[in-house]
Amino acid sequence: MTKQDQQYSRVARRQQAAHKQKHSQQPKKKWSFKKIAVTVALSLVALIFVGFIGGSLLFFAYAKSAPALTTSKLTSDSSTTIYDAKGHKILTLGTEKRQAIKEQKVPQQLKDAIVSIEDKRFYKHHGVDPYRIMSAAVNDVTGSSSLQGGSTLDQQLIKLAYFSTKKSDQTLKRKAQEAWLAIKMDKQYSKDQILTFYINKVFMGNGIYGMQTAAEYYYGKHLSELSLAQTALIAGIPNAPSSYNPYSNVQLATQRRNEVLNAMVANKKISAAQAAQAKAVSVTDGLVSQDAHTNSSQTKQAKWSDAYLKQVIKDLYDKGYDPYASSLKVYTNLNMDIQKRLYDMANTNEYVYYPDNKVQIAATIINPNNGKVLAMLGGRKNGDVTYGLNRAVQTSRTNGSTAKPLMDFGPAIEYLSWATYHQLEDTEYNYPGTSIALHDFDKAYKGTMTMQDALMQSRNIPAIRALATVGLTRARNFVNKLGFNYKSVEYSNGIGMPSSTLQNAAAYAAFDNGGTYYEPSYINKVTIADGESKTYESSGKQVMQASTAYMITYMLQQVITNPSGTGYRANIPGFYQAGKTGTNAYPDDIETNFPDNATMDSWFNAYTKHYSVSIWMGYDHPYRDANYLDTTTARIPIAFYKSLIANISQGKSNTNWKRPSNVYTKTLDGQKYLYLAGTSDPYTSQKKHSNSSTHSSNSVASSQDTSSISSLTTTSSVLSSSSSSSSSQSTAESSSSSAASANTNSSQSQTPSQPSNPTSSAATTTTTTNPNQ
């Protein structure tokens, strides 16, 4: 390159650099507001378009799988049907209380009232109302209130006919299908047809369906005979039937009726003067007396399943279903054969003898392997009462010595690794931290005895000594893992805890199955109107070591099989079972004028490999008149159990519990005791014993571990053997080693004062033992 070329090149580069600098310093072109607005608008349109396309595709995908729209579904009842464990129908709620009205018979006044309060644009939209949807959305954002939500009457009818009212089921898919079916229905049927479907299907409270049925139930009239005030209430009830019940919630019912009247004025269906005149009438004016409904056909259901059905209905509500507002098929765990047997045994003297018709008995039977409640008895001689007091669940009565495996000896094995041979003192003793003496029914002391014998003979002092060693905190933790919910416990609870037969049966089931607690369950499956089903199974939780459960079971077997055991009257030779008696005596500090052997509560908790059973007996008001159990009547729960278990165990396998590999046996003084591997008992160091350690299954009641119960003793012979057992021990009943007298040695009068709230402390005795009741 020449010098001239080089000079030219330098000049060119300078010019290029200057040009670049000039242009780089120029300000960038600003976007105008118009351009920004257009860009944002186009973007929003694009997003809306994409969202619309996506939403439409999703909507039609859901709509495609919607159930078929049929007249039969729209006109059929919305009742819930309940089935037993075998799929046999037990009860259909509300069908016997349904009267349909024909389209041409529906009064115009009722149409005006319903449309005004529920869907004032009913005759204008086509099943789904965009205006209502937008209004509901705005109200949600602004927090404004409106008497009408986003669903039209069409959509409400579709929901009643096809879908669950459970909140968790209100999914996008269901909403899409609901809207699709509402639109189809609006094309297929006239508006008055749709309104008539709604009038006949809607739930009206008190187990009744349809507005014609409600008119007859509440006022004893046909819909056409109702006054304006009465019509307004009938139209308003479906929104919240329980809240607007004119029998129980007069104020809310009045408020709702007035809302309907105001809506009719706003919709120009009545004048303000007519509304004011109707409002002046009491909502109770013209109501049929509730006594007239006492003998309704609802009470014709099988009385023997009343307590169980009451729990099923409660469980449905707890799970989010409304059995009276939805069309459900509910498959329960109820064993109808056992349930009928319970009812017959409680309401006749054919199986056991009752002293009078006032004495009550309650029972719960659970499958220990899954927590399913197989049967439940809520009481006896209840007349025509429907869903009455369920004593198996709703009453909390002190369970006496049946608490000892739960509060005392179970925790001692679980936390302290005690052997069943562990030595305990039955000597003079005060409740820890008090000067209150503890004693047994016989006021006697047995000296040093094993834990196994203390439980078998149901001695109180060794039990409380065990509890004191374990500590109240660990004992409470142990029982709370077994389904109780005590905020605190007292030492007196070691010989009696306020509880129900449901809680006791579920807790003892954990001893039965090797240490797993299952939440009791009544419902197996629920199917809603569109055919979708949900199955419910109780998930078990291991709450104690298998060794603890086995060692408790072994000792409880001795309670029944040993002639010195308090439950010996329940013994069936060769039959594997375990159990514990319990009684609750009257306190000394309350004057009753009852005999010294009078008892408030008598219990028997027992189990086999197939059933966990808890039975309670007593009076609802034990301080009134002569409402006490004597020595003879306190034995009825054992006789009841023996007759029951012999019957329901027919054909079931008869197997003993298998001993865990970490448990071994020792024979001491001719008796077998259980030890945990790796532990030794200081009390046996000087004993000569034969070590029967083995890792095979240990036979307790018989040398044969498995047999059939197809030839078990019949009911009559079971009772005969029970009677002979009683008479053969009658001379020994005053001895603490006697099976009969030891049956009354649970929670005694010399117990510390106890709190009065059973939900906050296990020390509470019972809600029905107040002398003022």
> How far is Cα 371 from Cα 693, in angstroms, rounded to an integer?
33
Q: What is the end-to-end Cα distance of the chain in Å, rounded?
A: 124
The C-alpha atoms of residue 151 and residue 129 are separated, in whole angstroms, by 8
Containing H/E element for 321? Answer: none
Residue owning tokens 């965009």:
130
- Helices 336-347 & 636-648 angle (0-180, nearest 10): 150
Name, in order, each residue with C-beta under 8 angstroms of 9's C-beta and a sequence gap of 6 or more. 1
Give the integer Cα–Cα distance in Å for 728 and 725: 5
Q: What tokens does 113 get?
A: 């009232």
**Chain-centre distance of CA 76, in angstroms?**
30
Structure tokens at 731: 């001379």
CA distance 716 to 258: 65
CB of 773 closer than 8 Å to CB of 621: yes
Half-sphere exposure in the Cβ direction for 523 (13 Å, CA):
25
Tokens of 272: 């303000």
Tokens of 418: 């005690």
DSSP code, position 558? H
Please report which residue ranges of 471-572 form alpha helices under DSSP H. Answer: 472-480, 501-513, 546-561
Provide Rg for the chain, Cα atoms.
36
What is the residue type of 10? R
Closest CA to 158 of 121, 120, 127, 137: 127
Cβ proximity of 381 and 436 under 8 Å = no
Helix axes 33-64, 172-188, angle to 10 degrees: 70
Q: Where would I find the H helices in 220-271?
A: 228-236, 250-266
Give every CB contact of residue 642 below 8 A, 6+ residues apart in sequence.
569, 570, 572, 718, 719, 722
Residue in this structure with the two tokens 């416990």, named with its chain if needed: 489
Query: What DSSP line would sit under 562-578, residue for residue?
Result: STTSTTGGG--TT---E
Distance CA 19, CA 24 (A): 9
Tokens of 301: 């259901």
Q: Do residues 92 and 207 touch, judged by C-beta distance below 8 A?
A: no
Residue of 335, 365, 360 whose CA lies nearest to 346:
360
HSE of 193, CA atoms in CB hemisphere, 13 A:
10
Which H or E run contains 81? strand 81-83
Is 118 catalytic? The answer is yes
| Residue 743: Cβ within 10 Å count | 30
Which of these is catalytic: 79, 118, 458, 492?
118
Gap between the Cα atoms of 373 and 504, Å rounded: 12
CA distance linking residue 655 with residue 667, whole number of Å: 23
Q: Is 468 exposed, middle or buried (0-12, 13-18, 19+ CB in 10 A)?
A: middle
Largest CA distance in the chain: 143
Give the other-Cβ count within 10 Å of 497's Cβ.
31
Which residue is listed with tokens 């579904």? 73
Among candidate residues 164, 401, 726, 736, the one labeled active-site is: 401
Between CA 635 and CA 602 the distance in angstroms is 8
Active site residues: 118, 401
